[in-house]
Each structure stands twice: as C-alpha cells, then as structure tokens.
Structure 1
Amino acid sequence: MDMQGEQQVEVRLVYQITVADVAQAVRVRDSRLPAGRRRRWLLCGFGGVLVCFGGLAAFGPGTGSGPLATLIGGVLILALTLFGPQLTARAFAGLLAKAGETTALVTATGLQVSTKDTDTRIGWAAQPFYAETADTFVTLSIAKRAAAMTILPKRGAADPADIDRLRALLDQNLQRI
C-alpha cells in the first residue's frame, strides 16, 4: 500500500528469452518504428531494382558475369530483408542461453529486469513506446543512434490476469505503437 491507501500495481514475469522471442521483437521494431520501416523499404526497393536490372541484362545479348552478379546481389538483399530478423535473433542464441532465466518486475515507475549475471532498471522515459504481439510485449525507444527494446513474453506471467494488469501498466505509462 502506498501513502494514499492505494495498492501499488506490479507484475512479475519469469521466463527465458528464446530466439523466437528476439526474432518477433526485431520484426516488431522494424515494422513499427519509422527507422525500421524506412530501412526495410529502402532495402526492398534497392534489391528489387538490382533484380530487375540484373535480370534484364543477364538475359539480353552479349551478357557477361556483371549482370548475373547484379541479379544475385539483388536476390540476396531481398532475402536478407525477409530473413534478417531471424538471422539477427540467431546471432544472440549464445547470449540468451548464458543469460538463463529472466525475472522482470514491472511497476508504475518502470521495469527491473534481472538475470543471473545482470540487474537492469529501465525508467519509462528510456523506452517510451510499446507494441503487443500474440506472444509478447516489447518496449521500445526510438533514439536516432540506437534502438533499445525489452522483451516481455506473456508466458512469463504466473496468472492470466497478470497479462491484463501488465497491459494496463504499459498503457498508463507508454505510448502503444
């Protein structure tokens, strides 16, 4: 109870972050933040242009290896754009395994995330946005130089009512995107 007689709302989640959680969070970040959308559109556009020019040149008269390389480069850029979130998440697999079980305490003042080796306090101002997916809540910053995010898997809730309380806390303190 706080000094005004109101009960302090907090939600505790206990979970282990998976590669799938990270991939989902990266997809959310890339689709809902302006920089992510811009990067994805630019890569898709550039890859598409390379595929078109490379394809037209590769099947035209007097072709060499240049047009084929352009075509292959365009296909690779498009593939990386499509599979980039999964590849990024897989790069973190070793760190995720090392971190082990994570405990997140979400209160009116922010997040406290603890693993066996770390204890991090994140105020609401540091990550002022959040997105909800079927499996997770992802808090996000949109700083120009770095995009920070915290992944809160719904499976970490001890009680299904905790998910509604968590959503209410996030709605109170962050902007949903």
Structure 2
Amino acid sequence: MRVDTRGAAVTFVYEPTEADYRAAVRRLRFGTWRGLGGLAVLLVVAELLASYRAWRGGFSPAGVAVWAACLLVVLVAVVHWGTGRLARRQFDGMDAYGTCRTVVGPQGMTTTGGELSSDLDWQAFPWYVETSELFVLRTRRTGIVFVLPKRGAQDPADVDRVREALEGSLHRLRSMPGMTRRR
C-alpha cells in the first residue's frame, strides 16, 4: 500500500447528512463494477427460480414471463429497501457527532465532533470512490462506509490534496463508464 508522505494534514468541517450516506451507498452499489457484481448474482438467482418454476409447473411462456416480472419487482424493492436501510444505519453512527471536524493526513483520518472522536488509519478503509460531492471510503469485510463531503473543505485546493492522499494510500474502486464525476 502506497502512502503519500508529502502533504500536510487537511481539515474538513461539515455536518453529516443522511442524504450523503444514501448517495454514497447508491454509488457503491450501482456505480461500481464490484457493486453491480452483487446485483448480477441476485438476477441470476431470480432467473434460476423462474426457470425452476417453468420446469416444475410445465412450460408456459406467459406464465414464465409473469413469474419473472414478479421476481424482478421483488428484487428491485428489496434492493431499494436494503440500500435505504444500510444508508440509515451508517448515518446513525455519525449523527451523534453533530458537526464533524475531520483531519486527513498521510497515515489516516481523525474525526471529532461533540464528545466523540475516532482515529482511522488507511488500512481500515482500503477502497474509495469519488463523486462530484463526496469521497466515500469502504471497509474490506464489514461494508462500513465513511463519507467525507467535499463541502467541508476549508479551501478548494483541499479537495485536491485529499484526493492525492487517497490515491496514494487506497485503491480506487473502478467505476462504471460515465460514472466518474469530479468538479
């Protein structure tokens, strides 16, 4: 793992919002090849269930189409519900911080707010994605995300400095074509 030792610490001050976490989870789930791979598995399972139903109950093109449509509706509802639920759960952990002050340095980040503080080294979050408004860091096994809103930058150059620190320390998740947005 590469670490950027050139830059000094950069401070972001912001109020975390549930909308930030919804956007982050959506981006991880729908905007990266890794996230779409998980959705592809669900689609294959739905197709196998529809095929089994057709094999077990006799083949009827109309019946298979109705069964597949019902499974697709259920799949979309579950993914939508799960995305919102995950975002709320992630946000609840940060809501107690109130106004956050996150200091990003060569070794990791420190976030303070209210009476809470957390230190995170880069090994805890090996992956990240960037949107036009957020830096989103993701853990390896637990799926926990940390959202760093760009609106918290004290200076527009701070966004570039954080990007350099992330690129030097973490692996950027590959995005779907057309999904990489920078301001």
Matched residue, 1:118: 116
Matched residue, 1:163: 159
Matched to 2:32, the amino acid is R
Q: Tell me: CA distance 1:120–1:87, structure 2 relative to 1, closer, same or farther (3 Å).
A: same
Aligned residues: 162
- Over the matched positions of the two proteins, sequence identity in percent amounts to 28
Give the Cα separation in 2 of the matches to 1:147 and 1:33.
15
Relative CO higher for 1 or 2, CA cutoff 8 Å, sep ≥ 6? Answer: 2
User: Quick check: 1:108 aligned with 2:106?
Assistant: yes
Residue 133 of structure 1, aligned match among 131, 134, 137: 131
Which stretches in structure 1 are left out of the alignment for 5+ residues? 1-5, 61-66
The Cα RMSD (Å) is 3.3
Which stretches in structure 2 are left out of the alignment for 5+ residues? 174-183
TM-score with structure 1 length normalisation? 0.72
TM-score with structure 2 length normalisation? 0.70
- 1:115 Cα offset (Å): 2.4
Q: Max radius of gyration: which structure?
A: 1
Q: Is the 8 A contact 1:33 1:142 kept in 2?
A: no
Matched residue, 2:17: 18
- 1:137 Cα offset (Å): 0.6
5 Å-filtered alignment, 1:1-177, equals 9-30=8-29, 31-32=31-32, 34=34, 36-47=35-46, 60=63, 72-82=70-80, 84-91=82-89, 96-143=94-141, 146-177=142-173
Give the Cα separation in 1 of the matches to 2:107 and 2:33.
24
Q: Is the 8 A contact 2:7 2:161 kept in 1?
A: no
